[in-house]
Amino acid sequence: MAASGSSKKILVVDDDPDILDAIQFALEDEGYAVATSEKGEYAENLRDDNGGLPDLIILDVLLSGKDGRLICRKLKGQEETRHIPIIMISAHPGADRSVREVGADDFLAKPFEVDALLAKVARYV
Amino acid sequence: MAADGARVGQRTDRLRTLKRGEERFRPLLEHSFEVIALLDRAGVILYTGPSTRRLLGYAPDELVGRNALELIHPDDREAIAAALASLLAEPGESGAAEYRLRHQDGSWRWMEGAWANLLDDAAVGAIVGNSRDVTDRKALESNLSYLARASKLLSASLDFDTIWRNLTELAVPHIADWCAVDVLHERGVFDIAAIAHRDPEKLALVKEYREANPIDMSAEFGLPVIVTTKRPEYIPLITDELLVAISKTARDLEVVRSLGMTSALSVPLVVRDRGIGAITFVTSDSRRRLTETDVAMAEELAARASLALENATLYAEARGAVALRDDFIAVASHELKTPITSLKMYTQVLGNRTARAGDERTSRLLAKMDAQTNKLTRLVNDLLDVSRMRHGRLEFYDEAFDLGEVVAEAVEHLRLTGEEREMRVEGEAARPVRGDRDRVGQALTNLLTNALKFSAPSEAVVVRLTPGTAEATVSVRDFGIGIEEEHQRRLFERFYRVDDPDERTYPGLGIGLFIANEIVTRHGGVMRVASAGKGQGAEFSFTLPYERGTAGGTDTGDH
């Protein structure tokens, strides 16, 4: 796998700590560098300073008190963050269409196959 | 001339005789509850008894010389004139009739009269009548039939707005000239639920006044008090002083004066012993006032309205409860999927690690664990489906598709999840069928899963497609433990589980089969089960309609 200095950075945002944990395991096993956050604000206020922006964001649709789709729309609307691919996840399969409308690059319905997640990540990162 | 004079003379004599008779019978006549009258052949009043004053307000002599028909209500005149004519046709003929007579004060009284043609009787020589005032009885009859109609109308709807509308229609103009319904809002203020006025022009004025004068919740009279005490407020006569007292501005006074209110009544609406609002009745016709009878009627009306409101509230609550339960199931399934998601990921990550490390045995175990999480996921989705189905909220698409393809996909899908037993597909549908491709696939998967569950490892499951005239048949046959006849009937009930005394129960047959049956039913098909009994396996089959325009033979077009 790629050396840690040049490994891709993935930001995972979900309000469930166990899902964050499991996704982190799955991605780190594939050699990615993973940052996690339970709070939507962290993703909303992403800035390109010390540390840089992630190479991909995995974002939950339903965050506690926040709609992940609005965060996606904001990030896609900002010059700085527009280029970052966003894969949105949700327990509600019907969310697929609505996340595309806010510019998400892809969607996965929970519970998903790890291989499916890894395949999509590899595709966009 | 002389003949006329003789006739007049005769009549005068008769009247004198009557008068003398009257002296004898005066006490009887005076205390009579009936109006006694004598008419000539043309209907002219010759005489009325002393009770006339008490009953109709006229001095007895006042009516002499007038034509009785003049006193009768215009709407009843024609009928009475006809009755009179038939009375005149037969000497000695008698008859009875109901009609309205004008009281001296201008009001109409319903009378029930019995009349006899005694014109040819030497002693009488007139048409004789006894009439009784039945105004109250008529009013009672009318009120009872009105209340019956009110009950029917108000109980016909469980929708609040319809109830308000019906209520105001019943109130105006029967009881009052205008009517307003106020409902106590959760916030503690009154909302106007409905206003009706007999005169559409005045309706605008009423609205203006109400809007300019929202109800003061701290007031010591009026609606707030009525609703709290659950007692009505009755103002039999509205005076100008009262109008001045309730008007805050000159415009207000102008408006209420032009409304011409003469009397008012507010009756509380009580649901489950709580005052929830009030109906206000107002008369604005100068000749009309709300009477005690009106108050009673209004209270009856309010009671019926309250009952209707209580039913409507219960209905709304029940629906709310159902909606809440639906949401609960939706939320619950959402929540259930969360731990399943991480569980699945942990299992698969472990599986990948052990596979990479070459530990095949452990990988296989973890794969089995993963299969179980898939079953969990299916059950959770089934739960959601059942809830939505129950409330008619499951979406079904309508398209033409190849049934053979869907069968193959279902088999393949099960194969991918690790099913190793033989699943054979035989036959074909021959033509495209119509329905929801994914849902049909779901039904098939459920039947296949059941079939596999109850078959031994060595037994195969056979899916057979059979073409028909208007529909195709799919059957899923297993050679496993079979189903006894007594259980076959109840199999499709939602959570029916077969309990076998040998403890070989059929777990999970419940939801999966129910959903499959619902799907098939929604497609206009029928699901059937056949089993020769224990140990003989079972066959589940269902039909699906062909795509319209492709069916062979007679196609009625109904699906």
Would the pLDDT of B450 be above 90?
A: no
Given an 8 Å threshold on Cβ–Cβ distance, is B344 in contact with A111? Answer: yes
Classify residue A92 by burial, with Cβ atoms within 10 Å: 0-12, 13-18, 19+.
Answer: middle
Q: What is the pLDDT of residue B255?
A: 85
Cα distances from B233 to residues B226, B238, B243, B282, B313, in angstroms, run 7, 13, 16, 12, 26
B108 forms beta bridges with: B102
Would the pLDDT of B118 be above 50?
A: yes
Picking from B331, B349, B372 by the largest number of A CB atoms within 10 A of its own CB, the best residue to mutate is: B349
Q: What is the rounded CA–CA span in Å between residue A91 and residue A62?
A: 9
Q: What is the rounded CA–CA span in Å between residue B379 and residue A12?
A: 28
Number of C-alpha atoms within 13 angstroms, CB side, residue B552? 7
Q: Same structural domain for residues B144 and B277?
A: yes
Q: Give which of B47, B72, B70, B52 is closest to B126, Cα–Cα.
A: B47
Q: What is the pLDDT of residue A1?
A: 38
Q: Same structural domain for residues B323 and B357?
A: yes
Q: Same structural domain for residues B285 and B159?
A: yes
Would the pLDDT of B504 be above 50?
A: no
Q: How far is B335 from chain A (nearest CA, A)?
A: 9
Q: Model confidence at B3, in pLDDT bands (50, 70, 90)?
A: low
CB atoms within 10 A of CB B96: 12
Would the pLDDT of B4 be above 80?
A: no
List the structure tokens of B532: 């020769």
Q: Same structural domain for residues B447 and B538?
A: yes
Give the angle B254-B259-B263 at the CA atoms, nearest 5°: 120
Q: What is the pLDDT of residues B75-87, one digit of tens each?
A: 999 999 999 998 8
Nearest to B342 among A19, A113, A115 (CB): A19
Q: Which residues of chain B make contact with A22, given a CB cutoff of 8 A?
A: 341-342, 345-346, 349
Identify the CATH number of the domain defined by range A4-124: 3.40.50.2300
Q: Sign of the CA dihedral B144, B146, B149, B154?
A: negative
Cα distances from B121 to residues B35, B125, B126, B128, in angstroms, run 21, 5, 8, 11
Q: Model confidence at B552, in pLDDT bands (50, 70, 90)?
A: very low
Nearest to B349 among A19, A25, A111 (CB): A25
Fill in the amino acid letter for B524. Answer: G
Q: What is the mean pLDDT of residues B50-62?
A: 87
Would the pLDDT of B164 be above 50?
A: yes
List the structure tokens of B50: 């002393």
Q: What is the pLDDT of residue A22?
A: 96
Q: What is the rounded CA–CA span in Å between residue B543 and residue B526?
A: 6
CB atoms within 10 A of CB B376: 17
Q: What is the pLDDT of residue A34?
A: 96
Q: Which residues of chain B make contact with A91, given a CB cutoff of 8 A?
A: 333-334, 337-338, 341
Q: What is the DSSP letter of B476?
A: E
Given an 8 Å threshold on Cβ–Cβ distance, is A91 in contact with B352? Answer: no
Residue B423 sits in a domain whose CATH number is: 3.30.565.10
Given an 8 Å threshold on Cβ–Cβ distance, is A114 in contact with B341? Answer: no
Residue B559 covered by a domain:
no
Q: What is the rounded CA–CA span in Å between residue A105 and residue A121?
A: 11
Residue B557 covered by a domain:
no
Q: Would you list which residues of chain B are within 8 Å, Cβ to Cβ, of chain A?
A: 333-334, 337-346, 348-349, 352-353, 373, 377
What is the residue-averaged pLDDT of chain B? 83
Q: Give which of B120, B483, B374 is closest to A111, Cα–Cα.
A: B374
> Greater confidence, B476 or B10?
B476
What burial letters (b/e) apply to A23-51, b meaning 16+ CB within 10 Å?
bbbbbebbebbbebebebeebeebeeeee
What burial letters (b/e) apply to B492-507, b meaning 16+ CB within 10 Å?
beeebebeeeeeeebe
* Count of domains forming chain B: 4
Cα distances from B558 to residues B9, B260, B434, B524, in angstroms, run 92, 63, 12, 10
Range name among B51-55, B99-103, B396-400 with the lowest pLDDT average = B396-400
* DSSP string across B197-225: ESSHHHHHHHHHHHHHS---TT-SSSHHH
Q: Which residues of chain A make contact with B373, given a CB cutoff of 8 A?
A: 111
The pTM is what?
0.46
Q: How far is A26 from chain B (nearest CA, A)?
A: 6
Number of C-alpha atoms within 13 angstroms, CB side, residue B454? 28
> Greater confidence, A90 or B219?
A90
Q: What is the pLDDT of residue B6?
A: 60
Q: What is the rounded CA–CA span in Å between residue A59 and residue A86?
A: 7
Of B306, B339, B368, the last residue of a domain is B306
Q: Give which of B26, B153, A74 is closest to A57, Cα–Cα.
A: A74
- Name the region of B472 (left: φ>0; alpha: ψ -120 to 50; beta: rest): beta
Picking from B333, B337, B342 by the largest number of A CB atoms within 10 A of its own CB, the best residue to mutate is: B342
* DSSP string across A25-43: HHHHHTT-EEEEES-HHHH
Would the pLDDT of B30 be above 50?
A: yes
User: If you measure CA to CA, which chain A residue comes closest to B378?
Assistant: A111
Q: What is the pLDDT of residue B466?
A: 94
Q: Are B495 and B511 spatial neighbours (Cβ–Cβ below 8 Å)? A: yes
Q: Same structural domain for residues B98 and B197?
A: no
Q: Same structural domain for residues B159 and B291?
A: yes
Position of tokens 């166990």? A18
Q: Model confidence at B508, in pLDDT bands (50, 70, 90)?
A: very low
Q: Which of A68-77, B217-226, B330-339 has the highest mean pLDDT?
A: A68-77
Q: What is the rounded CA–CA span in Å between residue B461 and residue B465?
A: 13
Q: What is the pLDDT of residue B289?
A: 85
Q: What is the rounded CA–CA span in Å between residue B422 and residue B71?
A: 101
Of B258, B280, B306, the last residue of a domain is B306
Q: Same structural domain for residues B432 and B485?
A: yes
Q: What is the mean pLDDT of residues B508-525?
A: 79
Given an 8 Å threshold on Cβ–Cβ distance, is B345 in contact with A26? Answer: yes
Q: Give which of B56, B88, B61 is closest to B72, Cα–Cα.
A: B56
Question: Which residue ranges of chain A lie beneath pLDDT 70?
Answer: 1-5, 50-51
Classify residue B155 by burial, with Cβ atoms within 10 Å: 0-12, 13-18, 19+.
Answer: middle
Q: What is the mean pLDDT of residues B434-454?
A: 88
Q: Which residues of chain B make contact with A16, given a CB cutoff of 8 A?
A: 338, 341-342
Q: Same structural domain for residues B41 and B115?
A: yes
Q: Model confidence at B375, in pLDDT bands (50, 70, 90)?
A: confident
List the structure tokens of B22: 């009257």
Q: Which residues contact B150 (CB under 8 A, 6 or more apart)?
A: B170, B300, B301, B304
Q: Would you list which residues of chain A are within 8 Å, Cβ to Cβ, of chain B?
A: 16, 18-19, 21-23, 25-26, 29, 62, 91-92, 110-115
Nearest to B349 among A18, A29, A110 (CB): A29
Q: What is the mean pLDDT of residues B325-337?
A: 76
Q: Sign of the CA dihedral B149, B150, B154, B155?
A: negative
Q: What is the mean pLDDT of residues B211-219?
A: 75
Given an 8 Å threshold on Cβ–Cβ distance, is A22 in contact with B346? Answer: yes
Three-state DSSP state, B392: coil
Q: Same structural domain for residues B405 and B467?
A: yes
> Greater confidence, B22 or A29?
A29
* DSSP string across B167-182: HHHHHTTTT-SEEEEE
Q: What is the pLDDT of residues B121-136, one digit of tens each?
A: 888 888 999 999 998 8
Q: What is the pLDDT of residue A59?
A: 96
Classify residue B200 by burial, with Cβ atoms within 10 Å: 0-12, 13-18, 19+.
Answer: exposed
Report the run of H or E that residue B148 belongs to, with start and end: helix B135-155
Q: What is the rounded CA–CA span in Å between residue B511 and residue B515?
A: 6
Q: Model confidence at B114, in pLDDT bands (50, 70, 90)?
A: very high
Cα distances from B56 to residues B19, B62, B307, B473, in angstroms, run 21, 11, 41, 86
Would the pLDDT of B210 be above 90?
A: no
Q: Model confidence at B522, in pLDDT bands (50, 70, 90)?
A: confident
Q: Same structural domain for residues B429 and B490?
A: yes
Q: What is the pLDDT of residue B441?
A: 92
Q: Give which of B56, B78, B220, B206 is closest to B129, Cα–Cα.
A: B56
Residue B313 covered by a domain:
no
Counting one residue from A and one from B, how many pairs have CB atoms under 8 Å apart? 55
Fill in the amino acid letter for B543. Answer: T
Q: What is the mean pLDDT of residues B52-71?
A: 89
Q: Same structural domain for residues B292 and B340?
A: no
Classify residue B308 by burial, with Cβ atoms within 10 Å: 0-12, 13-18, 19+.
Answer: buried
Residue B552 covered by a domain:
no
Fill in the amino acid letter for B50. Answer: P
Residue B80 sits in a domain whose CATH number is: 3.30.450.20
What range does the domain containing B350 cover? 318-390
Of B285, B306, B327, the last residue of a domain is B306
How many percent of chain B have pLDDT more than 70?
Answer: 87
List the structure tokens of B448: 């296949």
Q: Where are the domains of chain A?
A: 4-124
Would the pLDDT of B445 be above 80?
A: yes
Position of tokens 């043309």? B42
Task: Please report the beta strands in B318-386, taking only residues with DSSP state E, as ranges in sequence order.
Answer: none
Q: Model confidence at B521, in pLDDT bands (50, 70, 90)?
A: confident
Q: Are B281 and B179 spatial neighbours (Cβ–Cβ below 8 Å)? A: yes
Q: What is the mean pLDDT of residues B524-529?
A: 86
Q: What is the pLDDT of residue B19?
A: 67
List the structure tokens of B116: 């006899």
Q: Which residues of chain A make contact with B379, given a CB cutoff of 8 A?
A: none
Position of tokens 């009872």? B144
Q: Same structural domain for residues B443 and B517?
A: yes
Would the pLDDT of B178 be above 60?
A: yes
Q: Are B113 and B97 spatial neighbours (Cβ–Cβ below 8 Å)? A: yes
